[in-house]
């Protein structure tokens, strides 16, 4: 039954490909209520989309915090070794 609902939803509203695009866009802009609702429904039905949403959110938060620490000038030159080490340490804590 759930598979039938999933297929109907992805045919008529939001595919996994569209969801991946929305997840990425959510890091740069606020999604509309309709977009958030569709993404949430698909995350409930599809564990892969849900996992992707959580992983992108985690990376966005960790990279944002790391890059804020080193400043805009360092970001334009590339990530420092210290920042890479901190990022690896933070990511290994959450797994």
45-62 pLDDT, tens per residue? 888 999 999 999 888 887
**Residues 6 or more apart from 19 whose CB is under 8 A from it?**
38, 39, 42, 43, 46, 49, 52, 53
The domain total for the chain is 1
- pTM > 0.95: no
Out of 4-8, 11-15, 39-43, 75-79, the most confident range is 39-43
Its domain, for residue 17, covers: 2-94
């Amino acid at each position: 039954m759930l598979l039938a609902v999933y297929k109907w939803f992805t045919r008529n509203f939001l595919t996994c490909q569209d969801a991946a695009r929305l997840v990425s866009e959510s890091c740069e802009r606020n999604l509309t209520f309709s977009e958030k609702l569709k993404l949430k429904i698909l995350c409930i039905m599809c564990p892969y989309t849900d996992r992707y949403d959580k992983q992108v959110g985690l990376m966005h938060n960790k990279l944002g915090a790391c890059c804020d620490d080193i400043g805009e000038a360092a970001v334009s030159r590339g990530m420092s070794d210290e920042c890479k080490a901190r990022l690896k340490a933070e990511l290994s804590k959450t797994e």
